[in-house]
Structure 1
Amino acid sequence: MQQLNFPTYSFRFKNSENKVSIFDAIRKKFVILQPEEWVRQHCVWYLIEEKNYPKSLINVEKELIINDLKKRYDIVVFNPDGSIHLIVECKAPKIAIKQNTFDQVARYNLALNATYLMVTNGLNHYYCQMDFDAEKYQFLKEIPNYKK
């Protein structure tokens, strides 16, 4: 797999029926290793190791309904009170981050009301903080570390 713009992490891999799988510590199972999954797993470990978010507050690949359509978010980080702190939208490294990617995560956020948004293709990372009163977002250099 391609080298990403994240620190190096030790992943567990499994090879079965000529398909490589990577262990997802959040879902507690092996998942097929696709380019987007490679980015998602790096991002999960970045949140845990670099930003100190507890695994217990991280959720991966869950379904949500937006305008009667079933969608799946990549990563959500909850606050201890159950509200949503961060939504992460992951793309494969070959997918350029464009306006439609920000539009996608913004649509998800209409339903989830996260304070922070992150968009990454593993090479480029973008971070935003929501301003719900002004109905806009402000770009940040990085997302904040977890605070208890």
Structure 2
Amino acid sequence: MENLNFPGYQFRFKNRENKSLIFDIIRKKFVVYQPEEWVRQHVLHYLISDKKYPASLINVEKQIRINSLPKRVDVVVYTPQGEIEILVECKAPEVKISKDTFDQIARYNMDLRARYLMVTNGYSHYFCQMDYARSTYIFLEELPSYTPNSK
């Protein structure tokens, strides 16, 4: 397991049928350990432990429809009112984050209208806040912490 640019978290692992599995704290089951999954599990712990988002507001590998085509979003964080607060795109550590990578989540977000976007490969993290009134976004140093009354 490679160390990523996140605080140290405790993970549960097991092996089954010659496969390494990692416990997903949102789906509450063991999933196949792969580089992108390693990043996704760090993001989940970061959102819950460090940013204090309730696990009940987080969805993993959420299927969405963009222009009638099914797409999968790595992590979606909702507001208590059911609106999308954060969209997260996770890449494997060896995948360089490029403009194309960021454009992918921005395209998904055209219809979804999340308040914040995050793209990470575990080493580099990019955060932005959407400004729909001006059709732009503002890069942030980090995501805001959860506030129960945010809209």
**TM-score range for the pair, normalised by the shorter chain length:** over 0.9
Shift of 1:25: 1.1
- Find out whether 1:9 has 2:4 as its counterpart: no
Structure 1 runs, 4 residues or longer, greater than 4 Å off: none
- Find out whether 1:55 has 2:55 as its counterpart: yes
Alignment-mate amino acid for residue 117 of structure 2: L
- Find out whether 1:75 has 2:75 as its counterpart: yes
Count, aligned residues: 148
* CA deviation map 1:87-109 (0-9, x unaligned): 00000000000011111100111
Shift of 1:13: 0.6
Paired with 2:71 and 2:18, the residues of 1 have a C-alpha distance of 29
Alignment-mate amino acid for residue 90 of structure 2: C
Question: TM-score normalized by structure 1?
Answer: 0.98
Shift of 1:19: 0.6
5 Å-filtered alignment, 1:107-118, equals: 107-118=107-118
* CA deviation map 1:22-70 (0-9, x unaligned): 0111111110000000000000000000000000001000111112221
Paired with 2:67 and 2:44, the residues of 1 have a C-alpha distance of 28
Give the equivalent residue in structure 2 for 1:84: 84
Aligned to 1:109, the other structure's residue is in SS state helix
Paired with 2:99 and 2:69, the residues of 1 have a C-alpha distance of 21
Paired with 1:81 and 1:67, the residues of 2 have a C-alpha distance of 25
* CA deviation map 1:88-143 (0-9, x unaligned): 00000000000111111001111211000000000000000000011111100001
Paired with 2:2 and 2:20, the residues of 1 have a C-alpha distance of 14
CA RMSD across the alignment:
0.7
Q: Percent identity of the aligned residues?
A: 62
Give the equivalent residue in structure 1 for 2:97: 97
For structure 1, the residue ranges without an aligned partner over 5 or more in a row are none
Alignment-mate amino acid for residue 42 of structure 2: H
Question: TM-score normalized by structure 2?
Answer: 0.96
